[in-house]
Chains A and B, each alone.
Chain A
Amino acid sequence: MAVAPALPRAVDAPAPAPARRRAKHRWVFHAVMGPVAFLWVLPLLFVIVVALRSFDDIATNGLGSLPSSFTLEAFGTAWTGGSIGGALRNSLVVTAATVVLVLFLASLSAFALSRYKIPFGRAILLAMLAGNLLPPQILLIPVSKICEMLGIYDRLFALVAVQVGFGLGFFTFVLYGFMRSLPAEVFEAAKIDGAGELRTYAVMVLPLCRPALAALAALESTWVFNDLLWALTVLRTDTKFPITAALLNLQGGYTTSWNVVAAGSLIAAVPTTIVFFAFQRHFVSGLLVGASK
């Protein structure tokens, strides 16, 4: 019944500049952006080079020197010694669960705050956002005690719960902005159809928010995937550790096998890279936070 009306999608409108101007500026553009992009990639190339060197080469010649060895050994050591396989799995489970839960909950509160005149709505929104400004370090000890109290300490679920709680404020804030920018006609139409609140939310608002949700999902996966602090706070068993904690163990206290750390970091970056490229379209065309139709 309630099919979302086709929206004017500013997203897809290209911005064709006059061809003459474009041709004139093309070489300037590449002359500037080429080196800039190269500058951005340079440190990553360095990481790759380090990962391909041997420990003895690094110990003898130092990290800054040109490589005098080539080996894939570090990747093997990182994979087996750091039990990266299991850690990756833990990270993926926690990340997926967190992203789904946090976006679902945040979309609920954003819907309520943006579409209804909740008393002190703005204060609630800002208070939720303010929660995100707390330095996480200060919550570490209370959170670990709460997890113990609930009997979920040292379980991946605890990590998901904490991450969800800690992400809610920001995502509510962003989705609130997005939902407010949705055209009023949608809601008028829903009202005329006599759709209830939950129906309006599920059938109209959620599908319209899909691009924003996709973009936020990609952001949140990067954050959750790269988190270390919370993981160490609520987990103790190393078979449950996420990839970041496993990487840390690679680093060691006495020896630093830089090549292994570099290799591990590269392996760990693969999922976030995939997520980024998979969602790239949404990132760029989807996060309509600024849309003012």
Chain B
Amino acid sequence: MGPTPFTTPSLSRRNLLLGGAGAASALFLSGCIGGSPAPSTETSSAAGDINAPLTLQSDLSDELPKKAMESLVAGYSAHKLTMNTVATEQFRAQLSSYLTSQNPPDVITWLAGSVARDYAAKGLLLDVSDMWTGDGACAKFSPALKALSSGDDGKQIFVPTSYYWWSIFYRKSAFEEWGVKAPTTWDDFMAMNDTLKTKGISPLTCGTGSTAWMASGWFDYLDLRINGAQFHRELLAGKHSFDSAEVRKVMDTYATLIPYFDPKGRSYSWQEAATPLINKKAGMYLIGAFMTSAFPKGDLDDVDFFPVPTIDPSIPSAEEAPTDGYFASAKTKNPAGTKDLLAYLAAPAQQQAYIEGAGSSNLPTSPDVDTTKFSPLVQKGIKLLQDTKEITQFFNRDSSDALQTTADTALTRFLDHPDDVATILKTWQAAAQKIWNS
């Protein structure tokens, strides 16, 4: 049983009321805000209350995913279950409040990666290791997913239910009109960029305006293609410098792409940057499969993708496949019920129902989901990820949101001023170093 990070209500209230004992200490919400962890008297009362109602806190606020979640919730009858939906950004800002509150939501939607691991290290997350063994709901999931869902202590604290792939998306009909084919080598790709540009088409679109993190997509992929997944992970973990020759090489390649980007992308969000692709003013878009949700429904059959071409054949292939799912609060009043709900959400039938309902081209994590009825696009995505040697998540998921901020600043500045690359990388490294040191 991990240490409880927050004091019990009674202790806090006592501190509050014992004003006379020590004015300064009573003024401070000790134990509540930044106070030292105190032993809890009701440490997750091991057995819990099997009849306690459950709460599911969800950040899937988009119309279709929300509807899909609502029908999953409606289909769950084992316990009384309420779902609350909060828009992603506010959800993120509130996440630590949720988890540290006295009565946290039982199950929370989240993504696999460093944030989950951080919370696990603080003892805030329910240990769901038993779901990954025997006939548990996650027992048949791939070892890669299991590793991704494990905390630093090797226990599983995450239940992945879907993931998606990143690639270069395009419209088949547009490529036909322009007489080009999906390239297989980097040289073909660059040659095609030239061809499209001479036709007055922006070869690449990328919404780095209000979604500056989109600029990391190309950075990740170029690093994966030039230096490989191993180096990329180490770089994000602080074992290499952003000021190094390897990263400089990535940036030099990135700089050769800049003339091919639709310059208006600097003002766009990722959704708005899809518009030029949809109306055939731009050729290609390196983005996650979620981009299909920005497409008019009638045009979905026209969407296709090709992987970012190999640059250095000696580097093992790698793709980005961010994984989403759920974790649960360690303080749940009903651990058995919580795990039952997690198992329900992770079961093949629910995974399939969610993916079909949400219309977001996600892939199931369960090998038992019948994928034969999925769209050809999704089938192709599954194959891409099966064939690749290495899988990474995305810049922020492989590092941290703090490091993502440094990348956003550095990369958007670089897109505007590619000639300043030396200074930009130096500044980036200094900013990143501050985060690794803290």
The interface stretch among B93-101, B228-236, B403-411 is: B93-101
Q: Are the C-beta atoms of A249 and B85 separated by less than 8 Å?
A: yes
Q: Are the C-beta atoms of A249 and B87 separated by less than 8 Å?
A: yes
Residue A238 at the chain B interface, CB threshold 8 Å: yes
A56/B296 contact (C-beta < 8 A), A62-B275, A253-B62, A256-B271 known = yes
- Give residues of chain A (245-277) contacting chain B, Cβ–Cβ below 8 Å: 245, 248-257, 260
Q: Are the C-beta atoms of B61 and A59 separated by less than 8 Å?
A: no
Residue B133 at the chain A interface, CB threshold 8 Å: no
Q: Bound state CA distance, A144 and B90, in angstroms?
A: 14
Residue A132 at the chain B interface, CB threshold 8 Å: no
Q: Are the C-beta atoms of A142 and B33 separated by less than 8 Å?
A: yes
Residue A25 at the chain B interface, CB threshold 8 Å: no
Least Cβ–Cβ distance between B196 and chain A, in angstroms: 20
Least Cβ–Cβ distance between B333 and chain A, in angstroms: 15
Q: Bound state CA distance, A144 and B96, in angstroms?
A: 11
Least Cβ–Cβ distance between A124 and chain B, in angstroms: 19
Q: Which of A61, A141, A245, A251 is packed against the most chain B CB atoms within 10 Å?
A: A141
Residues in chain B near residue A233, CB distance under 8 A: 94, 97
Q: Are the C-beta atoms of A237 and B84 separated by less than 8 Å?
A: yes
A145/B32 contact (C-beta < 8 A), A232-B90, A238-B86, A256-B271 known = yes
Closest partner residue, chain A, to B98 (CB atom): A236
Residue B278 at the chain A interface, CB threshold 8 Å: yes
The interface stretch among A1-9, A30-38, A42-50, A146-154 is: A146-154
Q: Bound state CA distance, A193 and B63, in angstroms?
A: 66
Q: Which of A239, A249, A255 is packed against the most chain B CB atoms within 10 Å?
A: A255
Residue A206 at the chain B interface, CB threshold 8 Å: no
Residues in chain A near residue B57, CB distance under 8 A: 236
Q: Bound state CA distance, A84 and B428, in angstroms?
A: 44
Q: How large is the interface on B (under 10, 10 to 19, 20 to 34, 35 or more residues)?
A: 35 or more
Q: Which of B16, B57, B87 is packed against the most chain A CB atoms within 10 Å?
A: B87
Q: Are the C-beta atoms of A256 and B269 separated by less than 8 Å?
A: yes
Least Cβ–Cβ distance between B266 and chain A, in angstroms: 15
Residues in chain B near residue A146, CB distance under 8 A: 29, 32
Closest partner residue, chain B, to A147 (CB atom): B101
Least Cβ–Cβ distance between B56 and chain A, in angstroms: 11
Q: How large is the interface on A (under 10, 10 to 19, 20 to 34, 35 or more residues)?
A: 35 or more
Residue A81 at the chain B interface, CB threshold 8 Å: yes
Least Cβ–Cβ distance between B233 and chain A, in angstroms: 26
Closest partner residue, chain A, to B358 (CB atom): A254
Q: Are the C-beta atoms of A252 and B87 separated by less than 8 Å?
A: yes
Least Cβ–Cβ distance between A293 and chain B, in angstroms: 44
Q: Bound state CA distance, A254 and B65, in angstroms?
A: 10
Could you give, for residues 57-90 of chain B, a 1 whenever the CB lies within 8 Å of some chain A CB and a 0 otherwise?
1011111111100000000000000111111111
Least Cβ–Cβ distance between A8 and chain B, in angstroms: 49
Residue A63 at the chain B interface, CB threshold 8 Å: yes
Residues in chain A near residue B298, CB distance under 8 A: 56
Least Cβ–Cβ distance between B315 and chain A, in angstroms: 31
Residue A173 at the chain B interface, CB threshold 8 Å: no
Query: DSSP class of A's interface residues: helix, strand, loop or mixed?
Result: helix
| Among candidates B59, B83, B105, B296, residue contacting A55 with C-beta atoms closer than 8 Å | B296
- Give residues of chain B (36-63) contacting chain A, Cβ–Cβ below 8 Å: 57, 59-63
Residue A109 at the chain B interface, CB threshold 8 Å: no
Residues in chain B near residue A90, CB distance under 8 A: none
Could you give, for residues 291-309 of chain B, a 1 whenever the CB lies within 8 Å of some chain A CB and a 0 otherwise?
0011111100000000000
Closest partner residue, chain A, to B94 (CB atom): A232
Closest partner residue, chain B, to A77 (CB atom): B63
| Among candidates A61, A141, A255, residue contacting B63 with C-beta atoms closer than 8 Å | A255
- Give residues of chain B (100-126) contacting chain A, Cβ–Cβ below 8 Å: 101-103, 105
Least Cβ–Cβ distance between B311 and chain A, in angstroms: 30
Residues in chain B near residue A236, CB distance under 8 A: 57, 84, 86, 94, 98, 105
Q: Bound state CA distance, A260 and B62, in angstroms?
A: 11
Closest partner residue, chain B, to A247 (CB atom): B87
Residue A292 at the chain B interface, CB threshold 8 Å: no
Q: Bound state CA distance, A149 and B90, in angstroms?
A: 22
Q: Bound state CA distance, A144 and B104, in angstroms?
A: 13
Residues in chain A near residue B63, CB distance under 8 A: 77, 81, 252, 255, 257, 260
Least Cβ–Cβ distance between A245 and chain B, in angstroms: 7
A254/B293 contact (C-beta < 8 A), A248-B90, A249-B87 known = yes
Q: 5 A-B Cβ contacts within 8 A?
A: A56-B297, A148-B103, A153-B103, A245-B90, A255-B294
A-B contact sample (17 more), CB < 8 A, given A149-B16, A236-B94, A248-B90: A60-B275, A60-B278, A77-B63, A145-B32, A233-B94, A233-B97, A236-B57, A238-B86, A248-B87, A251-B87, A253-B59, A253-B60, A254-B62, A254-B294, A255-B63, A255-B64, A257-B63
Residues on A lying within 8 angstroms of B by beta carbon are 55-56, 59-63, 77, 81, 141-142, 144-146, 148-149, 151, 153, 228, 232-233, 236-239, 245, 248-257, 260
Q: Which 10 A-B pairs have the closest CB atoms?
A: A253-B88, A252-B62, A56-B296, A145-B32, A249-B61, A238-B84, A248-B87, A255-B293, A62-B275, A232-B90
